[in-house]
Amino acid sequence: MFQVPPGNDPCDLICFSHLRWNFVFQRPQHLMTRCARERRVFYVEEPIFHSGIAPRLHIEHSGAVNVIVPHLPEGMSAADASDAQRALLEQWIEAEHISEYVLWYYTPMALSFTDRLSPVAVVYDCMDELSAFKGAPPIIKAREAELMRRATLVLTGGQSLFEAKRHQHANIHPFPSSVDVAHFAQARRITTEPQDQRSIPHPRLGFFGVIDERMDIALLDGVAAARPDWHLIMLGPVVKIDATSLPQRSNIHYLGSKRYEDLPQYVAGWDVALLPFARNEATRFISPTKTPEYLAAGKPVVSTTIRDVVRPYGKQGLARIADDVPAFVQACAAAMAEDAVERITQGDAFLRQTSWDGTWTRIRSLLDEVLHRNRGRSTPVEDATAV
């Protein structure tokens, strides 16, 4: 059923994520699609619960990535759900003759049902401080500490997150958000407007991404109120917060989720790209992927004081930084008045230093080192230790 990419590493990779593969195309999707060019990749999502069903795994293919979704009966306790996922996973691994594999974690919660597996290596890609997110299970900090002990390689999704966790592991490396420049640079050439954006007047100030507790709702409302002639375009799903709590004004437009493939078409019609994040525990260590994506699209960027935006983007003059409504409005006005040629030239020079392909190449090198060292002595997850 699952073919190994020809001429590449036969060591499979099993990834456990709290993010649905088809939710928003972000860090896990960028890295796993590149990894799948070299080895079999199995992306295991969190379970979906239904009434009156027997536990089963649903497997579908997204390009070269195999997406695996456990389906479990409703009403299960957390312990029973873990037992069911453990049984399904172990049976599937045996049935598919998967003998040499890496376990790659985005969520420490997956430790509860992967404790008996015997990987060649354990990777923890810590893309966010999940314990600070709304609705995070209280046990997640303890699970992360356990995963840090078991991992042979730890990656972080940004510099500030690396600095906060560097003392927790001996083989930890920062890999800030990167970008597919060619994809977003299409926005510089696109002239056709998407149907649902076409009638919105300029100036347009846009955001794409998940709209959740990290969004500074009061700032959005304040900017829209201060400049009723500006139009704020918000693309993305609303999760973990009540959609009715979002500011409702005639110049704020919530256009819903958009496919990654279609984002350049929307950004092409914006005058300013926004990062209107709140300053709270959930945003303390974030490294927004959209920052370099906005730059690749050729748009000026205005952000609140998110550490991994201030450094390097703010420090290098690639993004304007402001927090309160008057300062944010002033920054947006200045962004629209600036010399676009000079800004794009400076942004392009920065972007030449980063790409998801380059990020994966560096991560693969670290992974290859671990695999070379560990091959022939696969260790059960429960006994693995930090290097």
pLDDT at 1 over 80: no
pLDDT of residue 342: 92
Per-residue pLDDT averaged across 162-181, rounded? 95
What's the mean per-residue pLDDT of the chain? 93
pLDDT of residue 384: 39
Q: Give the tens place of pLDDT for each residue, 193-242.
A: 999 999 999 999 999 999 999 999 999 999 999 999 999 999 999 999 99
pLDDT at 103 over 70: yes
Q: Which of 7-11, 96-100, 217-221 has the highest mean pLDDT?
A: 217-221
Q: Give the tens place of pLDDT for each residue, 365-374.
A: 999 999 999 8
In angstroms, the CA 216 to CA 238 distance is: 13
pLDDT of residue 385: 37
Q: Give the H/E segment covering residue 359.
A: helix 356-374
The greatest distance separating any two alpha carbons of the chain, rounded to the nearest whole angstrom, comes to: 66
pLDDT at 4 over 60: no
160 phi and psi angles, rounded to 5 deg = -65, -35
Q: Give the tens place of pLDDT for each residue, 172-196.
A: 999 998 999 999 999 999 999 999 9
Strand 204-208: give its sheet, edge to edge: 252-256, 231-235, 204-208, 272-275, 301-303, 320-321
Domains and CATH numbers, the chain: 12-178+356-378 (3.40.50.2000), 181-351 (3.40.50.2000)
Quote helix, strand, coil % in the chain, to nearest 5: 40, 20, 40
pLDDT of residue 376: 58
pLDDT interval class at 21 (50, 70, 90): very high
Q: Give the tens place of pLDDT for each residue, 235-260.
A: 999 999 999 999 999 999 999 999 99
pLDDT at 9 over 90: no
Q: pTM of whole model > 0.85?
A: yes
Task: Name the residue among 263, 278, 272, 285 with its Cα closest to residue 208.
Answer: 263
Residues 347, 353, 358, CA angle at the centre, nearest 5°?
Answer: 135
Q: Give the tens place of pLDDT for each residue, 305-332.
A: 999 999 999 999 999 999 999 999 999 9
Q: Give the tens place of pLDDT for each residue, 45-94.
A: 999 999 999 999 999 999 999 999 999 999 999 999 999 999 999 999 99
pLDDT of residue 5: 55
pLDDT of residue 41: 98
Task: Name the residue among 383, 373, 338 with its Cα closest to residue 153.
Answer: 373
pLDDT interval class at 134 (50, 70, 90): confident
